[in-house]
Amino acid sequence: MSERLIAPSILAANFNNLGADIEMINQSEADWIHFDVMDGVFVPNISFGIPVIEHVAKIAGKPLDVHLMIIDADKFIVPFIEAGASLLTVHYEACPHLHRTVWQIKDNGAKASVCLNPHTPVSLLENIIVDLDMVLLMSVNPGFGGQKFIQGTYDKVKKLKELIQEKNPECLIEVDGGVNFETGAELFKAGADVLVAGSFVFGSENPAKTIAGLKRV
Ligand code: DX5
Ligand code: ZN
């Protein structure tokens, strides 16, 4: 049985009044707050970085789940943890010395997660899965909110679940991109533990209700 955690992505929040959206998340049934950090190099977009996370950390009542879509992640691991990240995700495709990066995260007191782009096979995690607290599967190409869910993700979740059951049953599966009630239900069924949702939550009339709904799809 999956854990059924929900992590709203503040990429889709109202940056003119971010405090209000964080307060909504605090009061909601959300489990974590998801942050998409983009460098304009690894992904074709730039979002926000350490100062924003540092400020949100002061008012956030839930763990900060920080997704680094950046090259040279090693340089920024300690600053992001000091800013308040509880869980740091780095990309398989952007980390040439992944084992060292993962242990740098863990040795500095955060949980470590590795993200796979849609084209990257789960089998490449075979020799790192024992070291991970979570794997994040991208169900869209990273860089933008509001994209269409890639259907092949369900099979990836199932394959990853098998690998996890064999080698590290404690490891969580998070899925990011195009999550709504329909894709969310299928993802939980396939074995996902954590769903990230941006535009579906913040574009809805009642975001807190949508978060509660996602937990029960
Ligand atoms: C995509 C980001 C996602 C994004 C999801 O690059 O990693 O976290 O915020 O957005 P939606 O839920 O709108 O697809
Ligand atoms: Zn993300």
- Specify the amino acid at residue 26: N
DSSP for 164-184?
HHHH-TT-EEEEESS--HHHH
| pLDDT of 68 higher than 80 | yes
Q: Is the CB of 9 under 6 A from ligand 1?
A: yes
- Residue 11: its pLDDT value, please? 98
pLDDT category, 1, cuts 50, 70, 90? low
Give yes or no for residue 93 CB within 6 A of ligand 1.
no
Any idea which ligand is nearest the CA of 148? 1
Domains of the chain: 5-215 (3.20.20.70)
Cβ–ligand 1 contact at 67 (below 6 Å): yes
Q: 91 in ligand 1 pocket by Cβ < 6 Å?
A: no
Ligand nearest the Cα of residue 43 is 1
What is the rounded average pLDDT of the residues 168-193? 98
Q: Which long-range contacts (CB under 8 A, 24 or more apart) does 41-46 make?
A: 41/70, 41/71, 42/69, 42/70, 42/71, 42/91, 42/93, 42/94, 43/69, 43/142, 43/143, 44/143, 45/143, 45/144
* Cα 125 from Cα 19, distance rounded (Å): 37
What is the mean predicted confidence (pLDDT) over 193-197? 98
Q: How many CB atoms lie within 10 A of CB 5?
A: 20
Ligand 1 atom nearest to CA at 149: 14
Task: Kindly state if the Cβ of 142 falls inside 6 Å of ligand 1.
Answer: yes
Give the ligand 1 atom nearest the CA of 146: 13
Residues found in the chain: 217
- What distances in angstroms separate CA 182 from CA 192, 213, 214, one per listed residue? 14, 11, 9
Task: Say how many C-beta atoms besides its own lie within 10 A of residue 132's C-beta.
Answer: 24
Average pLDDT over residues 55-78: 98
pTM beyond 0.95, yes or no: yes
Residue owning tokens 């970085």: 49
Q: Which ligand is nearest to the Cα of residue 38, counting in written order?
A: 1
pLDDT at 66: 99
CB 124 within 8 A of CB 102: no
32 alpha carbon to ligand 1 midpoint, in Å? 15
Query: Which residues are part of the catalytic machinery?
Result: 36, 176
pLDDT at 3: 81
Q: Per-residue pLDDT for 2 more than 80? A: no
Which of helix, strand or coil describes residue 7? strand
* Cβ contact 151:172 at 8 Å: no
With a CB cutoff of 8 Å and minimum separation 6, the contacts of 12 are 145, 146, 198, 199, 201, 202, 203
Helices (H), the chain: 18-27, 50-59, 77-83, 98-107, 153-167, 181-190, 199-202, 207-215
Kindly report, residue by residue over 3-42, the tens digit of the pLDDT.
899 999 999 999 999 999 999 999 999 999 999 999 999 9
Collapsing DSSP to helix, strand or coil, 85 comes out as strand
Question: What letter does residue 33 receive in the DSSP assignment?
Answer: E
pLDDT of 169 strictly over 70: yes
What pLDDT score was predicted for residue 83?
Answer: 98
Cα-Cα-Cα-Cα torsion 11, 16, 18, 23, nearest 10 degrees, comes to -130
Average pLDDT over the chain reads 98
Alpha-carbon distance of 130 to 163, in angstroms, equals 10
